[in-house]
Amino acid sequence: MSEIRIGTASWTDKSLIDSGRFYPREAKSAEARLRYYAAQFPIVEVDSSYYAMPSPEVSRLWAERTPDNFLFNVKAFRLFTGHQTAPAVLPKDIREALGPIDKKNVYYKDVPGQLLAELWSRFREAIEPLRRAGKLGAVDFRFAPWLAFHPENFKHIDECIGQLEGHRSP
């Protein structure tokens, strides 16, 4: 039988914090909020990874600060999902390797293969501490609405699956 887990879209969700009704007053830091959240719910969605590439160190700390059976569903980085991505949110060395960009946003198709390979590698490294700790529930790909029912888009989805082969919790 499958297990159903209930959680929210982030332990740092503005509405949870601003309501003043969920977190105790002493839970002022992100660490304290995560520890409290993980005592209330068995799962959370990491929303921040959609907006910026996470780091392995941060993922390691998340794993350490939560109970053994806690799970993180990590949103895929926006570039991977076909959404527009401001160059400013890319890692500095990747941004520099792209050279001058005359557009406000870049898309997956705009990034050369070797830089995409490096971004995928960094994303896998970033979620690896969660996977090793048995705390990686899923990687959530919220594809852009304009990725319509089309063979080229199916290829992209297959590529995403292939890039994360073996990245389920052990």
pLDDT of residue 164: 94
Q: Which residues are CB-contacts of 73 (< 8 A; sequence separation ≥ 6)? A: 43, 44, 45, 46, 137, 138, 139, 140
What pLDDT score does 58 carry?
Answer: 97
pLDDT of residue 169: 52
Which has the closest alpha carbon to 166: 109, 115, 127?
Answer: 127
CA–CA distance, 34 with 28 (Å, rounded to integer): 10
Using 50 as the pLDDT threshold, list the residues of the chain that sit under it.
Answer: none
Identify whether the C-beta of residue 33 lies closer than 8 Å to the C-beta of residue 8. Answer: no
- Tell me the whole-structure pTM to 2 decimals: 0.92
What HEC string does 70-121 produce? CEEEEECCHHHHCCCECHHHCCHHHHHHHCCCCCCCECHHHCCHHHHHHHHH
Report the pLDDT value the prediction gives residue 1, as an integer from 0 to 100. Answer: 54
The predicted pLDDT at position 39 comes to 97
- 37 vs 90: CA distance, rounded Å: 29
What is the predicted pLDDT for the residue at 148? 85
